[in-house]
Chains A and B, each alone.
Chain A
């Protein structure tokens, strides 16, 4: 619970229920066989009589979308309904061609699940999932001057709606919940997680209450925030809205039940539409579609297709591979990152703290290089890097074998990142192997002593902090190839054996 506004005697805390809409990654739309791959294509080119809502056209269910929904339900610990029923949700808008949206209503596919999130203090918290159901997406209206253009490429896209109970009690919890949910959806391969393109859309329902109201289960008026296209926006909107509502109430005002939007530039919510006349959608069972009957065998079969999910990976990294919790979480959050990490560890080895060393290289240097690639870089592109996990393992092994030192390895990694060459090859071609031969070091030291008699005298006169100066000179003279351990040892000897 986060305290947000301090009035003389009243403190409000925030309460959030989340609605998440996830476009499912199927090849075809929910009720017709139009391709879902419409991004960037001209308007109304991925359409047919069914998704155009032409007179006489009928919907036919997409089995892949139903399976994706059931798999998600299993991953979110939901009860899977033996019978789910599609209904018609009636309302008129130009982006809704039939004048009703086909959506599971009274009998959704999945109910009563939960998702545990990790809080910053290291504890976990359970967020209950109220329901997860399947529906169809609408088209897209573009308002321009005094007309509106309608693009129905998106109309009929399969959409999974996940609704939580109002269990989220801070912006950070919302952030953690959505991060985890998105990771799971990606692990399952059911959603791209791309919030900017609208493939994943989050609508928090935000209210505040006092401790006394909470004790009486007396909920505040909800405000719904729409069109949030990043996790940061969700966090920001909840924080802002919590503060705004507390202020309104603190000033003796009342909260209106409204829909808000998010102003990214000014980081504030803005009024979209008041809900004073709540709409009657006149839901009734869709007569064009039979109920979805799900046998226990089908659920079992689908459960068997679930991949290892982030939580289980994280625990395995910590318990079997000894990773620090923070690294375990970072590397398990994205399946493609986890795949890369695991492939690297398999080549590199699991003994002797090796997984942690590999984790350091990936979450440190490799991530830095990916992010440095510029705007819009995403850790998931780790799967498309020129440097494969086996090659990274080869590089880190060279450090372990003292063939190169860590600094050299970073430079080699940069070259590998660009060219995709093996570390060994770069080290050989460029003569980067470390110098631990005392002869070479002796030679360098002798030259340094000759060139810096003053410093040598002062050191030997007791100014021992000059050791660093000589060490730097050695590394410079050997162009960084000197094995720092060996060089340090030999330098000490030579300085002290005057």
Chain B
């Protein structure tokens, strides 16, 4: 572990790279080559990428340099980004980490990715994920497990583990993840980087291969808070292709990074400091809360009484939606087809081989929850409790500006430790799922390291469309600490 001052281009943050490109210190081609070389150097150990689109990225970098010479000054011009493989990218293989989509090249690009490209960014590759974003470690990927750059024997978290590991290992300046129950924030926490889940509807889901449609949201994973704001600037906003995207205007999120949180009311929910949380995590988070108080924030003890119901509610709603969302993978229009003579046998063959164990488990769970005779007791009841959880947050935000908690009860756990124990794995999301159920926004930022030198994340939550406030709080903390500047050492 060392404190880095960037000596290599791949170590740069997005905003530093933009500054360097603008002042002509280096070209987009230099930058892209540097990142590609870094991937070449360390991805054999980290395994963050499913697909590296090096040639296309270099072509686009050349084009970006030409355009810059002609006066183009779009905010992300020439910035290479990594994209979680659940986001559709035209012409670049998109598998959602599943064998059932092996070799699938979408004919269109997800709105969020397209908007980044429209701002000048280029896609350097697609990152590993738990299959269909179902998991908290990337161990459920249909291809391979990503390793945590801080300790290669440990998981990077998930499901956006590839995106978080890529940023932590300097294999990408920044990346996109998706967060259905914590899948951006939890791996960001375990990899010592910044991960943000915007409010539901803030970023279009068009082109995001759906897991839990009412919960899914795309978010940036970055080296610092300013980068998160920059990327959100480019992605956010209403999209005519997504009826659930919010029409609210998009502010300049970088303008909210004032460094001033004097008087900010910070809620600390009692229910988020539980037995089973690692003591180092608790210590680091409580220290961070004191730090916020030291910056002038007012600490307010609060309650979110329905927190203990969030996990079961999440697993009923997310799996119910997933059971329908994954119906389309029938081997008929895309992905490897089947060879059986009868339709039903063909479905069995394609889906039996194509889906991994966890995905099948969740499809069955969701199908059961929606079945005649069970709907009211499971899915129907879960929707009612979801409303209660949302009301908890609404009541809390009537009194406080943000809520802080640990992002994950533990730091990165060893690969294989929870792979055969789904319930233990589900607990990894215990502090993150409520937010998705409420539709509100949150961010995880580094706030320390445990006794094994593994990163710890601080979660800052805000109300729907409260992105400016959580960014301001996160930025104020980050700029007065040095956790975010640390990088793992990879041979």
Query: Do B106 and A100 touch across chains, with their CB atoms under 8 A apart?
Result: no
Please indicate the chain A residues that have their CB under 8 angstroms from the CB of B104 in the complex: 55
Q: Does B377 contact A (CB under 8 A)?
A: no
CB-contacts of A42-94 with B (<8 A): 49, 52-61, 88, 90, 92-94
Task: Give the residue of A60, A99, A150 whose beta carbon is less than 8 angstroms from that of B327.
Answer: A99
Counting CB contacts under 8 A, is B210 at the interface?
Answer: yes
Contact A100 B327, CB 8 Å, known A60-B240, A284-B375 = yes
Beyond the given pairs A53-B328, A56-B209, 5 more chain A to chain B contacts, judged by CB atoms under 8 angstroms and listed by A's residue number, are: A56-B87, A56-B88, A59-B243, A284-B321, A287-B214
In the complex the two chains form, is B101's CB within 8 Å of A90's CB? no
- Segment touching A, from B8-16, B286-294, B364-372: B364-372
- Within the assembled complex, what's the spacing in Å between the Cα atoms of A98 and B334? 12
A-B contact pairs, 5 of them (CB 8 A): A53-B333, A54-B333, A56-B110, A92-B330, A287-B214
Q: Which residue on chain A has the smallest CB distance to residue B321? A: A287
Verify A99–B242 contact, CB threshold 8 A: no
Interface string of B324-353 (1 = CB under 8 A from A): 101111101110000001010001000000
Binding site for B on A (CB under 8 A): 49, 52-61, 88, 90, 92-94, 97-100, 146, 150, 280, 282-284, 287-290
**B106 CB contacts on chain A under 8 angstroms:** 49, 54-56
- Asked whether any CB of chain A lies closer than 8 Å to the CB of B34, the reply is no
Chain B residues with CB under 8 Å of A282's CB are 323-324, 367, 370-372, 375
Tell me if B372 and A280 are in contact (CB < 8 A). yes
Residues on A with C-beta less than 8 A from B87 are 56
List the B residue with the shortest CB-CB distance to A52.
Answer: B333
Give Cα distance in the complex from A57 to B101, angstroms. Answer: 15
A254 CA / B294 CA spacing, docked (Å): 82
Most buried by B among A94, A280, A282: A282
Question: Given that A90-B327, A284-B379 are known contacts, is A54 also in contact with B206, CB under 8 Å in the complex?
Answer: no
- Give, as a whole number of angstroms, the nearest-CB distance from B97 to chain A: 12
Kindly list chain B residues whose C-beta atoms are within 8 Å of the C-beta of A290. Answer: 243-244
B residues near A288, Cβ cutoff 8 Å: 210, 213, 242-244
- CB-CB < 8 A to B371: which residues of A? 280, 282
The number of A-B residue pairs with CB atoms under 8 Å apart is 103
Q: Are A58 and B214 within 8 A (Cβ)?
A: no
Residues of A near B214 (CB, < 8 A) are 287
Shortest Cβ distance from residue B370 to the other chain A in the assembled complex, whole angstroms: 4
- Residues 100-123 of B contacting A (Cβ, < 8 Å): 101, 104, 106-108, 110
Closest to A89 in B: B324
Q: Does B74 contact A (CB under 8 A)?
A: no
Chain B nearest Cβ from A28, distance in angstroms: 13
Complex interface bits, B303-333 against A, C-beta within 8 A gives 1, otherwise 0? 0000000000000000011011011111011
Cβ–Cβ contact B320 & A99, under 8 A: no
B357 CB–A CB distance under 8 Å: no
CB closest residue in chain A, given B326: A99
By a CB distance below 8 angstroms, the chain A residues around B372 are 280, 282
Q: Find out whether the CB atom of A55 lies under 8 angstroms from the CB atom of B330.
A: no
> Are B347 and A92 neighbours in the complex by a CB distance under 8 Å?
yes
A92, B351: Cα distance in complex, Å: 12
Report the Cα distance A90→B347, complex, angstroms.
15
Does the CB pair B324–A90 fall under 8 Å? Answer: yes
Contact of B324 among A55, A61, A100 (CB under 8 A): A100
In the complex where A54-B106, A54-B333, A61-B243 touch, is A98 in contact with B205 (Cβ < 8 A)?
Answer: no
Chain B residues touching A, range: 35 or more
Cα distance A59–B87 when bound, in Å? 17
**Assuming A100-B324, A100-B327, is B207 touching A56 (CB within 8 A)?**
yes
A52 contact set on B, CB distance < 8 A: 333
A398 to B348, CA, bound (A): 76
* Contacting residues, chain B, for A284 (C-beta < 8 A): 320-321, 324, 370, 375, 379
CB distance from A86 to the nearest CB of B (A): 10
Highest count of chain B CB atoms <10 Å: which of A52, A99, A287: A287
- Among residues 237 to 278 in chain B, which have CB atoms less than 8 Å away from a CB atom of chain A? 240-244
Task: Give bound CA distance, A146 to B370, whole Å.
Answer: 35
Flag if A60 contacts B241 (CB, 8 Å).
Answer: yes
Q: B445 interface residue, CB < 8 Å from A?
A: no
**Are B333 and A58 touching (Cβ within 8 A)?**
no
Q: Are B370 and A94 in contact (CB under 8 A)?
A: no
B208 close to chain A: CB less than 8 A = yes
Beta-carbon nearest neighbor of A281 in chain B: B372
Q: Which residues of A contact B321 (CB under 8 A)?
A: 284, 287
CA distance A146 to B243 in the complex (A): 41
With A49-B107, A92-B347, A282-B371 known to touch, is A58 a contact of B206 (CB < 8 Å)? yes
Give the chain A neighbours of B330 by CB distance below 8 A. 92, 94, 99
By a CB distance below 8 angstroms, the chain B residues around A92 are: 327, 330, 347
Contacts A97-B333, A280-B371, A290-B243 given; does A58 touch B328 at CB 8 Å: no
Residue of B nearest to A94 (CB): B332
B206's closest neighbor in chain A, by CB? A58
Contact A97 B208 (CB under 8 A): no
Please give, as numbers and ranges, the residues of chain B lying within 8 Å of A97 by CB-CB distance.
Answer: 328, 333
CB of A399, distance to nearest CB on chain B (Å): 61
Check: B96 CB closer than 8 A to any chain A CB.
yes
Are the CB atoms of A99 and B241 closer together than 8 Å? no
Pick from A55, A57, A58, A90: contact of B94, CB under 8 Å: A55
Contact of A99 among B110, B206, B209, B328 (CB under 8 A): B328
| B216 closest partner in A (C-beta) | A287
* Max chain B Cβ within 10 angstroms of own Cβ: one of A55, A98, A287: A55
Distance to closest chain B CB from A30 (angstroms): 13
Which 7 interchain pairs have the tightest Cβ spacing? Answer: A99-B327, A282-B370, A287-B214, A287-B213, A56-B207, A55-B209, A56-B88
- Give CA–CA (A58, B210) in the complex, Å: 9
> Which residues of chain B are within 8 angstroms of A289 by Cβ–Cβ distance?
243-244
| Cα A98 to Cα B327 with chains together (Å) | 6
CA gap between A93 and B330 in the complex, in Å: 9
A290–B247 alpha-carbon span in the complex (Å): 13
Q: For the complex formed, measure the closest distance between the CB of A40 and the CB atoms of chain B, giving whole angstroms.
A: 23
Decide: A55 near B213, CB < 8 A? Known: A284-B379, A290-B243: no
B residues in contact with A287, CB < 8 Å = 213-214, 244, 321
In contact, B370 and A90 (Cβ under 8 angstroms): yes
A92 to B346 alpha-carbon distance, docked (Å): 12
Find out whether the CB atom of B107 lies under 8 angstroms from the CB atom of A56: no
Judge whether A54 and B108 touch: CB under 8 Å: yes
- Given contact pairs A100-B324, A280-B371, A150 touches B379 in the complex (Cβ within 8 A): no
Q: Give, as a whole number of angstroms, the nearest-CB distance from B332 to chain A.
A: 5
List the A side residues contacting B326 at CB < 8 Å.
99
Find out whether the CB atom of B243 lies under 8 angstroms from the CB atom of A60. Answer: yes
Q: Which residue of B lies closest to A148 (CB)?
A: B343
Considering the chains assembled together, what is the distance between the CA atoms of A257 and B222 in angstroms? 60
Q: How far is the CA of A53 from the CA of B242 in the complex (A)?
A: 15
Shortest distance between the CB of B222 and any CB in chain A (Å): 23
Q: Enumerate chain B residues within 8 angstroms of A56, measured Cβ to Cβ.
A: 86-88, 106, 110, 205-210
Taking CB atoms, residues of chain A closer than 8 Å to B241 are 58, 60
How far is it, in angstroms, between the C-alpha of A60 and the C-alpha of B241 when the chains are bound?
6
Q: Could you say which residues of chain A place their CB within 8 Å of the CB of B375?
A: 282, 284
Whole-angstrom distance between the Cβ of A19 and the nearest chain B Cβ: 21
**Cβ contacts under 8 Å, A61 to chain B:** 243
A52–B88 Cα gap in the complex (Å)?
15
Partner of B205, one of A58, A99, A280: A58
Bound-complex Cα distance A290 to B110 (A): 21
CA distance A283 to B380 in the complex (A): 11
Contacts of B94 in A (CB 8 A): 55
CA distance A287 to B208 in the complex (A): 14
How far apart sit A280 and B324, CA to CA, in the bound complex (Å)? Answer: 13
In the complex, the chain A residue whose C-beta lies closest to that of B370 is: A282
Shortest CB distance A92–B (Å): 6
Contact status A88-B324, CB under 8 Å: yes
Q: How distant is B359 from chain A, measured CB to nearest CB, in Å?
A: 14
Which residues of A sit under 8 angstroms from B88, Cβ to Cβ?
Answer: 54-56
A78 to B353, CA, bound (A): 49
B347 A58 Cβ-Cβ under 8 A:
no
Q: Which of B88, B243, B323 has the most CB of A within 10 A?
A: B243
